[in-house]
Structure 1
Amino acid sequence: MLLLLLLLLLLLLLLLLLLLLLLLLLLLLLLLPLLLLLLLLLLLLLLLLLLLLLVLLLLVLLPPPPQPPPPRLLLLLLLLLPLLLLLLPLLLLLLLPLLLLLLLLLLLLLLLLLLLLLLLLLLLVLLLLLLLLLLLQLLLLLLLLLLLLLLLLLLLHHHHHHHHHHHHHHHSQ
């Protein structure tokens, strides 16, 4: 018996593990496009860098044409461009967690909003119920009052009649 139970537990654990693995795989599949995009971006950036370097090399190696040398600023820019391009992927990598965080925050906000809406709905339902209860109570009270009035009328009528009779008796004596 005990062995059977243990086996069952093990099977359950295995199933859970399998489910977890499946979930992980799904997540990976979902994230794969993003990763691929990032890789593509990186590759593109690298290609751009190579191109720029080639251009620079050509500029350096080719004998300068007989024209005034380019201003310092242009050279600086040309030198800075590859650096900037190198920094871009890093920036992207840095921004990714932030973006994810933002997404999470947005999701949380949405959830909160949904919860609030649900709460409001609940409150409304409760209020409606309370109103209904109050109405019922009022109706009951009215009914009770009516009954009491009827009883009183009956009693008064009866009592009055009785009293009259008594009075008459007194008079005859």
Structure 2
Amino acid sequence: MLLLLQQLLLLLLLLLLLLLLLLLLLLLLLLFLLLQLLLLLLLLLLLLLMMLLLLLLLLLLLMLLLLLLLQLLLLLLQQLLILLLLLLLLLLLLLLLLLLLLPLLLLLFLLLILMLLMLLMLLLQLLLNYNNNYYCYCCCCY
């Protein structure tokens, strides 16, 4: 009976050891799963960080594009301003030329009127002189 009890105790001890071993194995498996989960979380965090960096880079590129467009707009406005200044200068030159030519044109117009008046006076004098001093120079009057 003692031998049976010893064997039973040994069997119980073996079962207990096996149970402990299983428990240890289960604990190791749990630890391994926890490590896997932690690694997965780290990977997700890394992915999130990379997405955030990509978003930041995209925002930076968008700002750069906006800056380039603004610079292009400023350049176009500058060229438009230069064109407007040149047009204004040309208009000013034309106005100055007109102001310089206006007295000359007025003088020419007055001269033309004077010449017409002189021509009219000459015609009037010829008409008056023709009635006063009529001389015939034809061949029958001699």
TM class by shorter chain equals: 0.5 to 0.7
Aligned 1:1-173 pairs, distance under 5 A: 82=27, 84-173=30-119
CA drift of 1:131 comes to 2.0
CA drift of 1:165 comes to 0.2
TM-score, structure 1 length as denominator?
0.48
**Separation in 1, partners of 2:87, 2:31:** 82
**Separation in 2, partners of 1:118, 1:162:** 65
**Separation in 1, partners of 2:88, 2:53:** 52
CA drift of 1:170 comes to 0.8
Question: Does 1 or 2 have the higher relative contact order (CA < 8 Å, sep 6+)?
Answer: 1
SS in 2 for 1:108: helix
The percent identity for this pair of structures is 68
Runs of at least 5 residues in structure 2 that lack an aligned partner in the other structure:
1-15, 21-25, 120-142
CA drift of 1:93 comes to 2.6
1:53 corresponds to: none
CA drift of 1:84 comes to 4.8
**What is the identity, as a one-letter code, of the residue corresponding to 1:104?**
M
Q: CA RMSD in A?
A: 2.8
TM-score, structure 2 length as denominator?
0.57
**Separation in 2, partners of 1:84, 1:155:** 105
**What is the identity, as a one-letter code, of the residue corresponding to 2:89?**
L
Runs of at least 5 residues in structure 1 that lack an aligned partner in the other structure:
1-56, 62-80
Name the larger-Rg structure. 2
SS in 2 for 1:144: helix
Q: String of CA shifts for 1:13-66, please: whole Å, max 9, x gaps.
A: xxxxxxxxxxxxxxxxxxxxxxxxxxxxxxxxxxxxxxxxxxxx8xx99xxxxx
**Separation in 2, partners of 1:139, 1:108:** 46
Residues paired across the two proteins, number: 98
**Separation in 1, partners of 2:74, 2:106:** 47
**Separation in 2, partners of 1:88, 1:141:** 78
